[in-house]
Every structure is written in C-alpha cells, then in structure tokens.
Amino acid sequence: MGFDRELVKGTTATVVLRLLREREMYGYEMVKEVNARTGGLFKWKEGTLYPCLHRLEVDGLLRSHWREAPNGKKRKYYRITAKGLAELARRTEEWKQFAGGVNVLLLGKTG
C-alpha cells in the first residue's frame, strides 16, 4: 500500500530527526532503516529524502560531514544538532495532538 505523497512529505522531516536522534547516518542508510522498520509499509526513496536533508541542514537542524566507507566510497553522514533536538520535541508533541484529533474525527477514539 502506498501513501498519499503529501502525507509522506509532511512527516519526512520529523522521521529524519527521530532517526538521527539515535545515531548519525548517511542518506541511503536512512532510506533502508525506514523501509525496514515499517516492514515496507513506507517505501522511501532517495529522491524523497535528499531535498529534506538539505532543508534541515540549511535550517540548522542537522550537520553533515564526509566519511570514507569500508568499500572506499565517501558517504555524507548527518547528525542532529541541539536545535534539531528541540525541533524534534516540538514536532513530536504536535504530532501527538494532531493524531489524537484525527483519531477522534475518523475513528471516534479519544485518548
């Protein structure tokens, strides 16, 4: 099942920040991680991710650096900043409230 593109776009940055709270990662690693954790329910592609990473870095929520991989290729690794951690906390709280409201409206569930 695929999700509406706008729905995915609206959550990508928050998911990226959450992943990078755990550890620094390179882009394709994030794609694989999201797809694996959701059992393929989310089907991220690099084209979805890289514009988001760029925006988050410009906004000061991420920092990046190049590192050589074991195969000799250089990979750009991203890590979350203190500003990014604060933004993740804000977005997480916002998501909880939003999801709660949608659940009430669509499913009749509260709490």
pLDDT digits (tens, 9 = 90+) for 51-80: 999 999 999 999 999 999 889 999 999 999
37-46, 49-58, 63-72, 91-100: least confident range = 37-46
Q: What angle do CA 20, 99, 83 make, to 5 degrees?
A: 30
Q: Is the distance from CB of 64 to CB of 76 less than 8 angstroms?
A: yes
Q: Tokens 């794609």 belong to which residue?
A: 31
Q: Which domain holds residue 44?
A: 5-106
Q: Residue 27's closest CA among 63, 53, 9, 5? A: 53
Is residue 111 assigned to a domain?
A: no
pLDDT digits (tens, 9 = 90+) for 14-38: 999 999 999 999 999 999 999 999 8
pTM: predicted TM-score of the whole model, two decimal places = 0.86
Q: Is residue 90 part of a domain?
A: yes
Q: Is 71 exposed, middle or buried (0-12, 13-18, 19+ CB in 10 A)?
A: exposed
Number of separate domains in the chain = 1
54 part of a folded domain: yes
Q: What is the CATH number of the domain that holds 53?
A: 1.10.10.10
- Looking at residue 8, its pLDDT comes to 59
Query: In the chain, how long is the greatest CA-to-CA distance?
Result: 54
